[in-house]
Structure 1
Amino acid sequence: MTHFLTFLGRLHPLIVHLPIGFILLGLLLQWYNRKQDMHLDKAISIAFLWAGISAVAACITGLLLYTHEGFAYDTVKLHLWFGIITAVCSFIYYVRISHIAFHKTPVIIFSILILIVISATGHFGGNITHGSDYLTEPLPPSVKRIIGIETQEGNEIALNEEELDDAILYSDIIQPILDNKCVSCHGPKKSKGELALHTPKAIQKGGENGAVIDLKTPDSSAIYHRLILPVDHEDHMPPKEKTPLTKHEIALIKVWIEHEANFDKSIGQLQLDHELFTSFFKNENSSELPPVSVATVSKDVISNLKKSTAFGIQPVSESTSFLGVSCLNFPDFKDADLNTLKPLFKNIVSIDLRGTQVSDDIFNSLIKLPNLQTLKLDNTQVSGAGIGSLQKLEYLRTISVTNTNFAAASLKDLALLKNLEKVYIFNTPAAQSPQENSDKTFTINYGNYTLPIIATDTIIY
């Protein structure tokens, strides 16, 4: 019986649209009737009768969904009560249009009332399904701040290696992982499977299927086992539409369980290997990234670019929106192909064009990447003509042009790049005539290194 009731409850998202349709149909007919005097009262009354009936059905299925899917009452109460009010108002409108009662009350009053009620019901229902910030969530943080919306970027895990032993494994690492990736569905507002993961007490309580931590066989713990299931498995967590945990986060969940899922001990007390936490160390070089804020490029945009081209596109770190682009598998890349990356222009800090078909014309296109820091043009046909135009890239620090026709004269143009630090010119015409570095703000690396012969090199085995 429970399975059948759960099935009926899951029909709520389908049935809930019926009263909305009937109410809107009735209101449109009422508006048309007032304008044209078409005597449509009978049709309008039927529309609101069915609106009331379908609203009752929506309330029943909604109640079943609430009781069988683990929603908290505080989360659904406004949607629930406004749904009941919608059903009542629909029947009242039916009675009024049918001239059974409320003759003295203008129909326009009922029309305005039921429009407000159905709008509120839909709004609160949308908040449950998509979250209260569903419409504003895609907006960049800067826009949110302008319109007065508080921004919350999540709990970033940034550890200091020198103080790592003092960090509490659960509160400083495990709980932030759960908060970022799990609590939206397993928290105080919504507890799917009657499981909440926002506090130690909630984790220890488990869900409808029992405990989620098995100290005897950590690999069998539901909180870990579901993370390592195939992505297309119905029990895989998080669901495919949610952000998955990284392999490092999953590994730490397992380590935590293996150490008795302790909520109080520090990393030092547990004597854990520091290598487990390297991906969470504060990036001491983060200050070297451009000091600007750029909007995160949607995963769909990046996915579509990867599918339609051979670009390799990867974030430079998990804590920034900056990207690195590689053409390693795109040897036919030409100057004009750079425009394909237009949606990413502001996010690209590194671009690898080694072994491609680019020419000196690429320099005029690269200035469209305002935050570019690293440029690799090795094994291409560039000679350096026009490279001075890159002076517009204020964050460009490294350029590599080894095995190209890069000319010595072009080195002078590089002096225009104020923040340039290193230039690699091995096996180029420019490398044939080494220059003094005293008048340059950047280092020229000529390559062609040789190692001194040591005694053991002469031993014949």
Structure 2
Amino acid sequence: MLKISSIRSILESTLFVWIGLTLIITLAGDSLVLPAWIQVLGRSHPILLHFPIVLLLMGLLFFWIPGIDKKPEIREIGEISFLAGCNFAGITVLAGLILAQEEYTGEILTWHKWAGLIVFSGCVILYFFRAAQAKVIRLSSIVLAGAIIATGHWGAGLTHGEDFLLAPIQSNDIELIPLAEAEIFGDVIQPILQAKCLSCHKEGKIKGELRMDHIEGLKKGGKSGAFVLAGDFEKSLLIQRINLPEDDKKHMPPKNKAQLTDEELLILSEWVATGASFDQKLITLPAKNELYQLASVKFEGNKIYSFKAADPDDINELNTSFRSILPLFPESPALDVSYFGISAFPPKSLSDLKNVKNQIVRFSLNKMPLTGVDFKFLKDFKHLEELQLNFTDLDSEQIKVVSELNTLEVLAISGNAIDQASLQNIAKMKSLKKLYLWQTGLSNQDQISIQKSLPETQIDFGFDGKGIIYDLNNPIIAQEKMIYQDSLELSISHPIKTVEIRYTLDGTVPDSISSPLYSNSIFVKNTGKILAKAFAADWKGSKVAESVFMRSGLAPTEFSLLHDPNSKYKASGVATLFDLVKAEAANHGQKWLGFQDEPMVLEVSFANSNNPKELSVSLLYNEAAHIFPPSKVSVQGLENGKWSNLASASPAIPLQASSARSELISLSLANTTYEKLKITVTPVPHLPKWHQNPGDKGWVFVDEVIFNK
């Protein structure tokens, strides 16, 4: 058995080994290339650090025992404990220096690193000068104990965040932000990033050279590309990574971290789709916008409407092909009323709104022919806050009535000629927070005058865009559901009310000349896809907005899969394909069946030979996540014991990655005398050369198979 003296000798010798290695790594800095196996030691730093803390503090306590010089046995135990602590401190500092080379940077790291070196140096000095005067030793032990605590605090800040230590005693009061003041990024997006991403992308730990603890870092992006690009899912690193399969090493957040919820995935995707602004107010989005509807729920409690909700039957009856009435935001009694379709607008229908007059908060009559319409009915809307009357040929008497609406906070009367009498009436509207006066014929002097009269109002006079061509935002397609039974209403809107919206239902991209012009809601009775684009003079046409719709017809009496879906993407099994619930494109981890190694082979049969003539397969495409169109979809029919081909399709392989989206492949069957159908959906065997992982197996994701006569 080793004697105490031998143990002391060994520990003192090894101490110089740690001192030497520490000096080498500290002085060599980033120029030193360490082998991969050394990183294992570095990553053990959080495990090792508890040993020196305990041993050193215990050893320091021995220096305070009264009369310890007269108790050699106890003194020796204290010195050996302290010496062992010094050794563990050396090993821990070494591991920390190695770990610091793995994407840790920032001021906190600097403090933690040098504090650790000071603690190690202080331990060594105190040990070898332990025979000094007791007062000096005790004072030094206090300083060293403080350094140990400070080092641990900065280390916790690196791992858990700067406020980790004091968080329990800090105020947890959350500042309530009114809906009108809420910012899309600061109040909706940033809290999600802080909760799910910040631990790996902040000062002190910046994985992939991406900092997410301030806006400048987000705008700069990381070593793999831009964090977000407005409307561009393909090049936005955020969208790429959150939509990868969870077992992919590039999936974010990492699979051992808390994952984004379905709602958070959708919010982040919609933020990028709507422009990825860092300073836009939430209230500027249309009420029908999906991001607005998802995010406004967070703030709805701050905007309380005390009036009762309208009768749902009244609202349903008032929703027509030329008028839309919707809650201002989910579960709100406040209503947003919009008219659309100039040719279908009946002025007399305005009187129909008397049953919901106490709930109307927003009212839009943009581009409606309002010449000669008596506006006195607006005085019945006791809670009207926003009125949209752009390009409606208003006269001075109508504007006079509008100016008397004391509850108005937002007024948009762009595209109407404003005379001096009307300008004087508008100048009296002190309750206005926002006023839109584009293309109203006001002179510079008129603009200065109205701004002086309404100093607290944000007035938008428009701008001279000559010579500058801007991209239009995508139009917004709204439909109550994707899978329906009888008929389905499709409506299209755009935040700029003066644009033309063109659409197609045959799969072709809309153009500004020959494609149908959208004016009223579209009613469909089949399965297909709508594509829409916005056009306006002096603007670039928008990108294509698209949405699928599926009419459910025949339900099979028997169905089975020959191959099980991948265990990670199995939803509710084969029943998922016939539950008439459309899965979200933004989250392929739920309600989709995923196939990679084997094709999806589905066999179905129908009662009483009530066989369908066509079928549609609902698919997910998300090339960045390896989810591609199938290489082939084939349909076979069993007749007299033999399978024969009834239909097939081989979609084109995309030439680049696009955003996650739902797609349809519809096939007409050659005959209907079959006893059973077999539908085979085959994934692409090799991803194309342009892909980030060329040659890998592709995935196919299916959520519904629809049959119709």
TM-score, L = length of structure 1: 0.47
Judging by fraction of residues, say which structure has more helix: 1
Name which one, 1 or 2, has greater alpha-carbon Rg: 2
Q: Which has the higher strand share?
A: 2
